A and B are shown apart, each in its own frame.
Chain A
Amino acid sequence: MAKAPPITNRIRELRESQGGMSQAALAEAIGVTRQTVIAIELGKYSPSLESAFRISRVFNLGIEDVFGWEPPHQN
């Protein structure tokens, strides 16, 4: 199983809070496929900085309101 990237996001929660926006609608708004939105939501793929900004703009929020970063634990 792939190691999850340390980037977290609230995309699913924000979609649902904003009238149940579909993954396909978000994908269309930011110019990626629905499967890429699914991969981002599941934490399987960390979007580019540009896509992260685009997603934030869709929700009228700042990038840090949508995405977070959890540094890997140091041993």
Chain B
Amino acid sequence: MYEIFNIAGLMMSFLASFQNISFREKTAWAMAIILAAAGFFYFDKVVRISNALGQTAPPLIGLVIGYVILIVIASVIVMSVLAVSAAREADAPADEREKIIADKAGNWSSYVLAVPALGALWHYSVQMDGNMLFHLIFLSLMLSQISEYVFQIFLYRRGA
């Protein structure tokens, strides 16, 4: 019972601090959560299909399209809600600190794209598994996008 109150208290304080953060930080939180959830949905399916086949699943183009549609719909809904709740901030262009944060996060996330992509190429050169190459490159893209928003959140919290 005590733990439930503790968790509820934590959630309340998180929601209270969420109201105090800038529109762009809120969008970073929203996009990071949406992309992570969609990525989990996608790779959960890939792993299940691979296990059923007994080998790496081939590229699942239908699933990739579903992943993209899911992200677009979820982003539009969440961004609309956030924009309505802070219309003035949403209309205003990014200020100097927000631009610096976006630039730094974009730069750092490029390494998150490059390192697993190089690993995927090395894996292909050894194993010659084209299906795995596809999934690893797609994973690199996902991780890079998620990390960009995570780095933004980190910089907003820590100071840029």
Most interface-central of B22, B24, B92, B95 (chain A CB within 10 A): B95
Number of interface residues of A (CB under 8 A): 15
Q: Is the interface on chain B under 10, 10 to 19, 20 to 34, or 35 or more residues? A: 10 to 19
- Report Cα–Cα, A8/B104, bound state, in Å: 23
A39 touching B159, Cβ below 8 Å? yes
Contact residues in B for A2 (Cβ distance below 8 Å): 158-159
Contact of B96 among A1, A34, A36, A42 (CB under 8 A): A36
Contact residues in B for A32 (Cβ distance below 8 Å): 95-97
Contact residues in A for B67 (Cβ distance below 8 Å): none
| Closest A residue to B158 using CB positions | A2
User: Which residues of A are at the interface with B, using a C-beta cutoff of 8 A?
Assistant: 1-2, 31-36, 39, 42, 44-45, 47-48, 51
Name 15 extra pairs, CB < 8 A, besides A33-B98, A36-B98.
Answer: A2-B158, A31-B95, A32-B96, A32-B97, A33-B22, A33-B92, A33-B97, A35-B21, A35-B97, A35-B156, A44-B160, A45-B97, A45-B159, A47-B96, A48-B96
User: Which residues of B are at the interface with A, using a C-beta cutoff of 8 A?
Assistant: 21-25, 89, 92, 95-98, 156, 158-160
